[in-house]
């Protein structure tokens, strides 16, 4: 009981921290390029990870863990941040948050592929229904839709689900903060040249909100959130604790409306609610 409560508690903290990621990214890409934002947040978070690894004198991961760490890096260090930053140049954060409703399903699917589980047929029924709901909303004329932005969000969700499932499984052996720290360190040789190449020609046009957004996604979205999230998945189970992601669209829509004053249409709320319901029932048959 204590272990389960600890897993759910850590997972909930991770979800709460991740809720600010898309609004913060939306603000930051107003003054930074998507490529610079993605690489800068990874470099800043990697430096934090290096310091922490050095302070505790953490042993290096085994050679067999490198493939899994590379998958985590591709999914959550590079793929999801870059694709969402590109998407948020075309759509609002409120619109993008609807796609987050598919993240638990994406995580579950990759958990099946990586873990060899065999869901019941009803699982796929609800999976298809949830996906159809998102597709219907994405192509509806709600005033904020963009084909390129929507496709980028779909790709981002797929890569993030892969990174979550792989990292959650690996955290059972290495630990949550160790997984994200090593994954960030593995991506560092790629991210540093990209930061230099995409360095802004001038900083005069960068406002305080963009700096705050960069700081948030670098420290909290890219590092602190994963400490709690991966620990929660490792302790409480990927399938069970992963259900907490169902709360993320609701929290995210509230933040987008409150902080960014973006319109949150009833169709967004309805689509999010239906997707969350589909993900919930799909998980029951996973």
Taking residues 123-137, report their average pLDDT: 77
Instruction: Give the integer Cα–Cα distance in Å for 193 and 198.
Output: 9
Contacts of 161 (CB under 8 A, 6+ apart): 75, 103, 105, 106, 107, 108, 109, 110
Confidence of residue 2 (pLDDT cuts 50, 70, 90): low
pLDDT tens digits, one per residue of 182-203: 999 999 999 999 999 999 988 8
Higher pLDDT, 264 or 160: 160
| pLDDT the model gives residue 116 | 61
What pTM, to 2 d.p., does this model score?
0.83
Confidence of residue 132 (pLDDT cuts 50, 70, 90): confident
pLDDT higher than threshold 90 for residue 179? yes
pLDDT tens digits, one per residue of 235-286: 877 766 776 776 776 676 677 677 667 676 777 778 778 877 877 777 677 5
User: Domain range spanning residue 165?
Assistant: 2-284
Return the CA Rg of the chain.
18
Instruction: Give the integer Cα–Cα distance in Å for 65 and 102.
Output: 28
Tell me how many domains the chain contains: 1
* CA diameter of the chain: 56
Count other Cβ atoms within 10 Å, centred on residue 151: 14
pLDDT higher than threshold 80 for residue 108? no
DSSP code, position 63: G
pLDDT mean across residues, the chain: 84
């Amino acid at each position: 009981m204590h272990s389960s409560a600890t897993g759910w508690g850590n997972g909930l903290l991770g979800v709460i921290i991740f809720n600010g990621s898309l609004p913060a990214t939306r603000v930051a890409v107003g003054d930074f390029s998507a490529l610079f934002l993605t690489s800068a947040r990874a470099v800043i978070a990697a430096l934090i990870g290096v310091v922490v690894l050095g302070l505790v004198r953490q042993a290096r991961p085994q050679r067999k863990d490198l493939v899994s760490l590379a998958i985590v890096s591709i999914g959550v260090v590079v793929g999801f941040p870059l694709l969402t930053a590109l998407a948020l140049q075309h759509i609002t954060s409120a619109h993008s948050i609807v796609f987050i409703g598919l993240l638990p399903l994406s995580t579950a699917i990759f958990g099946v592929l990586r873990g060899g589980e065999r869901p019941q047929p009803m699982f796929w029924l609800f999976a298809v229904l949830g996906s159809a709901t998102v597709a219907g909303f994405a192509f509806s004329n709600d005033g904020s839709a963009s084909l390129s932005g929507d496709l980028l969000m779909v790709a981002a969700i797929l890569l993030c689900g892969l990174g979550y499932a792989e990292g959650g499984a690996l955290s059972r052996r290495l630990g949550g903060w160790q997984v994200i720290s090593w994954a960030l360190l593995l991506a560092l040789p790629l991210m540093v040249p990209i930061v230099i190449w995409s360095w802004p020609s001038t900083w005069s046009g960068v406002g305080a909100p963009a700096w705050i957004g960069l700081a948030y996604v670098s420290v909290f979205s890219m590092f602190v959130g994963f400490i709690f999230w991966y620990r929660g998945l490792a302790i409480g189970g990927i399938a069970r604790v992963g259900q907490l992601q169902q709360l993320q669209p609701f929290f995210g829509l509230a933040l987008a409306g409150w902080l960014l004053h973006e319109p949150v249409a009833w169709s967004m709320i309805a689509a999010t609610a239906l997707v969350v319901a589909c993900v919930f029932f799909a998980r029951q048959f996973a």
